[in-house]
Amino acid sequence: AAGSSTFVLGCGAPLGPCVGLADAMRISADTAEHWLPKGPDLPGTRWFFAKDQTNLPSARNMVRNTFARMPMHGSLWINDPDCLILRDEVPLQE
């Protein structure tokens, strides 16, 4: 109903139901400047961030999702990894 000249980009949508409906899909986790997920160091929240959270923003989670969903590009839709990070320098540990 959007029209033939409309380009539909799915973002935050479940992947499966969007097959055949979206022209492009956001396919990666939210990115961050740190490699592993970090959470706030607040009382009452430490239990949630004690485990490795693969759904939280981090460069590692973004890279993992982008590579895992590469086969979808061109066959289901255009992949939108949404993963550009620019900065002046990168610490050695990263």
Beta partners for residue 80, in sequence order: 26
| Backbone torsions φ then ψ of 28, nearest 5 degrees | -120, 165
Q: What is the pTM of this model?
A: 0.74
Output 30 or 77, whichever has higher pLDDT: 77
Query: What tens digit of pLDDT does each residue of 39-83 get?
Result: 777 888 777 777 777 878 888 999 999 999 999 999 999 999 987
Sheet strands (E) in 13-86: 24-26, 78-80
Tokens in use for 51?
């485990």
Question: 28 burial class (0-12, 13-18, 19+ CB within 10 angstroms)?
Answer: buried
List own/partner pairs for 81-85 with CB under 8 A and 24 or more apart. Answer: 81/26, 81/27, 81/28, 82/11, 82/26, 82/28, 82/30, 82/31, 83/28, 83/31, 85/31, 85/33, 85/59
